[in-house]
Chain A
Amino acid sequence: GAVVSQHPSRVICKSGTSVKIECRSLDFQATTMFWYRQFPKQSLMLMATSNEGSKATYEQGVEKDKFLINHASLTLSTLTVTSAHPEDSSFYICSARDSDSYQPQHFGDGTRLSIL
């Protein structure tokens, strides 16, 4: 089955640093990748949609300069949280789907980000 690998699974860093999270599709070409944020005991909130080779589309209220998304290849998308602060601490999950519109999104295992 389709596998999405997300790395790192957990990161702890100081306030003010930038953190990069990678999302890779291991056995299919992901024309579209999605980035979600999940607060404790809450649902997933879509942050942005990225299509390979083009700029990401951000949801309302998500700061594009804060959460930089790059989707440079068909198997890799990255989310960089710039100048992270404690309020950015959260569980970030990516998903990917290929060009076949009848295939669902496949999710990574998430990244637990803790900003001290």
Chain B
Amino acid sequence: AQSVTQLDSQVPVFEEAPVELRCNYSSSVSVYLFWYVQYPNQGLQLLLKYLSGSTLVKGINGFEAEFNKSQTSFHLRKPSVHISDTAEYFCAVSEWGGYNKLIFGAGTRLAVHP
């Protein structure tokens, strides 16, 4: 079974500052890794995904994440945030070999202040 831990429930940051949202996972098998963003009263939008290959993946809206197998981490980063990045961010895993059910972390609320 897989599990996902998002270490920070809330991350406040000033506009144009860099940010890192942390995600660690646990699994006995290889996994796919994802980051999703959720704006208020909306569904989830895929930011980026890691399937295989290069451990640094780039996504939409200037976000990137790095897969670290030895530390079982998949932290999300952005060098300079905007007010519009304020949202809930979810890290998720699914078992390798197919897009089966997603296991989500508890979420991190990113609050960007002017």
Do A and B pair up? The answer is: yes
Interface residues of A (CB under 8 A from B): 4, 6, 32, 34, 42-44, 46, 49, 91, 93, 95, 97, 101-110, 112
Number of interchain pairs (Cβ within 8 Å): 51
CB atoms of A104 and B46 under 8 A apart: yes
B74 adjacent to chain A (CB < 8 Å)? no
State which residues 86-103 of B face A: CB under 8 Å: 90, 97-99, 101-103
B80: interface (CB < 8 Å): no
Nearest A residue to B34 via CB reads: A104
**Those of B7-23 within 8 Å (CB) of chain A:** none
Chain B residues in 8 Å Cβ range of A97? 99
A108: chain B residues within 8 A (beta carbon): 43
State the Cβ distance, A65 to closest chain B Cβ, in Å: 21
Within the assembled complex, what's the spacing in Å between the Cα atoms of A97 and B101? 10
| Bound Cα distance from A42 to B109, whole angstroms | 10
| Interchain CB contact under 8 A, B106 and A107 | no
Bound Cα distance A44, B88 (Å): 12
For the complex, would chain A's binding face be called helix, strand, loop or mixed by DSSP majority? strand
Residue numbers of B with Cβ under 8 A of A are 34, 36, 41-46, 49, 51, 90, 97-99, 101-107
Known contacts A34-B101, A44-B104; can you find 11 more A-B pairs with CB under 8 A? A42-B106, A42-B107, A43-B104, A43-B105, A43-B107, A93-B44, A101-B98, A101-B99, A104-B46, A106-B46, A108-B43
